[in-house]
A and B are shown apart, each in its own frame.
Chain A
Amino acid sequence: MEAVVTNPVPERRKPVVPSAVLGTLIFVIAEVMFFAGLISAHTISRAGSLPGLWPMPGQPTLPAEATALNTVLLLLSGAVLFFGYRLWKKQSPVAHWVTLAAWGLGAAFVALQGVEWVALLSQGLTLRSSPLGSFFYLIVGGHAVHALAALVAMFWAWMQMARGQLTSGFFFGVQTFWYFVVLMWPVIYARVYF
C-alpha cells in the first residue's frame, strides 16, 4: 500500500461562477419554466376556444391600455435597480436611495395591479366566471406572488445596504430575482392582455 499523498493545506478551488450566482440562476431557470407552463397552457386553451368566446360575451375585456402604465413602471424599476447596483459598486452614498426608488416603483406596480383586480372583480370577471378569468387570475396572480416575495427581499437588501452590511452574494440573488420578475412581465402582458 502506497502512502496516501494528501495535500495538508489544500488550496481551495476558486469557483468558476460564484455559488450564490449559480444557485440563483438555476432557480430562475426553473421559475421561467413554471411560467412557460402556465403561458403555454393559456395559449393552447385560448386557441382551442370557439370564436367569440374569448372573452366571453358579457364579460369585461382586460384593460390593456391602463396596464401599459404599470408595465412601464415595472420596467423602469428594473432599470433603476441596475443603476443602483452600479452606484453601490462604486460605493456611492446615494446608492441606497436609488435602490429604494426601484423598490417604490415595483411596489407601485403591485399596488396598481391590485386596483385593477378590484375593478375587474366588481365588473364580474372572477376566477370561475370563464376560462379567461381563471387564466388571468392564475398567471397574473402567480406573477404577483413572485413580485411580492421579491419586494420583501429587496426591502431587506435595501436595509442592509443603508447600514453598509449588504453582501454581494445576497444582492446578486435579489437583483436576479427582481430582473426575472421584471422581464417575465412583458411576456405575460403580451400574451394575456391582448
Chain B
Amino acid sequence: MKAPLSPERFESQAAEALNDTQLQDALQKATGLFAEKRGAAVDACEEWDSLREHARLIKEHTLLHLDEYLENFAAQAEASGVQVHWARDGEEACRVIEDIARNANATRLVKSKSMTTEEIHLNKALQVAEIDPVETDLGEWIIQLAGETPSHIIAPAIHKSKEQIADLFVEKLAIEPTTEVEELAATARKSLRRHFAEADLGVSGVNFAVAETGSILILENEGNARMTTTLPKIHIALMGVEKVIPRFADLAVFLRLLPRSGTGQKITTYQSILTGNPRPSDEEGPNQIHVVILDNGRTGMLAKAVTRQALNCIRCGACLNVCPVYQQVGGHAYGSVYPGPIGAVITPQLTGIEKTSRLPFASSLCGACRDACPVGIDIPELLLHLRAEIISRQSRLSARIAFRMWAWAMVKPWRYSLSTNLARAFPFLLPVGRWKVNRSFPGLAPNSFRKWWKDSS
C-alpha cells in the first residue's frame, strides 16, 4: 500500500506527480480549460474590478466585526427555527453531527460537496460511529468509490481520466464497460437516486451565510445539493466562521464573482437560499435544520491583516488553475485537504506550521494567484510572511552563519570582492548544493565585472 499523502513529503509527492503521464495530461487539460473559461467570463464582465474591490471591502469589514455578524446570523437563524451549534475544532464538529444523527436514530446519510467536511474528516468519523455517508456530487462520489481524496477544490476528481473512472464503475458497480461520459454520469444519477430516497439525514456545506436574515446559500450545478437539503428529514449545514456576510443585498456581489471565477459561468445552475425551518404548511423539506459554525483554527488568523485576508476566500479554485506549480503537480502532491496557492497559505494556519512547513515554499511567487483571486487576497505576500515565520522558527545554525557572513561581506566593497574572489577560487565553498538538485548552476564568470570594466576603460 502507498503511504498516505502528507504535506511533509511535498517534494517527493510532487516528483511522483511529474512522472505520471496520465496525471500530467489530465492536469494540463483541466487547468487550461478552467483558466480559459474564467478568463473569458471575466473579460465579458466590465465591472469585474469594481466587483472585486467591493467584495474585498465587504469581507474585510465583516472580519473586523466577525463576532457581531456571527451573533446576528445565529440569532436570526434561531428565530426562524434553525438549531445553531458552535464547534471549536473539527473533532467537536464531528461530534455535534454524530449526536444529531444518534438522537434521531439516523444511519443513512447523503452529502453534497463541502470542502469543510473534508477538512474535519467527517466521513471517517461517521463511519466509526456506524453511520454511512454517501457523497452525491459526481466528482466526490467518484473519489469516495476510489477511496481517494479530492485533488481540486471545485472539481475533486480532476486527476482521473474517464477510462479510470469507467474501470472503477465496472469494478464497484458492475456496469457494462463504457467510456461514454454521458453513460458514466447516468450511472451516478441512477445509483444515487436510491440513496437520496432512503437517507435520513442530509449534510451540506454553506457558500454564504447572511447575518441580516439568517439565510444560508448553497451554489451548485448538479442538483444534488437541492436533493440533499430537501429529501431527508434532517438537514445539517457545516460552515466555517468566515462564511458570514452582513446583508442579503451583498449577495449580488458574491453571486457574480464566485461562478465566474470557479467555472467561468455567469451563474451556477442552482442557488438554494434557505431561511429557517420549513413552515407547517410547506409540504416538503426537512423538519429539522441544523447549522454548525466551525472555528478549527480560523480565528487564529484574525489578528494580523496579512493573515486575516486568507479568510476572504470563497473557495472558487481560480488560484489553483492559474498556478504554475499546481498545474504541474496537481492537488495530491500538497498532501493537504486544501491544495494549490490557497492551500499553501491556509493549511499551515489551520493545522499548525510544524508538519506543513514545506507548503509555503511550493510556489514561484509569480503572483498569478493574486491576479486571479476574486476577493483580492495577496497570496504571495502571505506566502512570504509564512516563510519568514518558518525560517525564524527553524533557525538553522548553518543558515544563520551563512547569512551573517553574507551581511559581513556586503557592507564593504573590499569584503565583497574578497569573497567573490574566494568563491571563484574555491567554487565548492558556495552553499548551492540543494539548489542544484533540480536546476543547473551556471557558476561564476572567470573574471569579475569590476575587473572587466577596469581593463576595458
Q: Do A and B come from one complex?
A: no
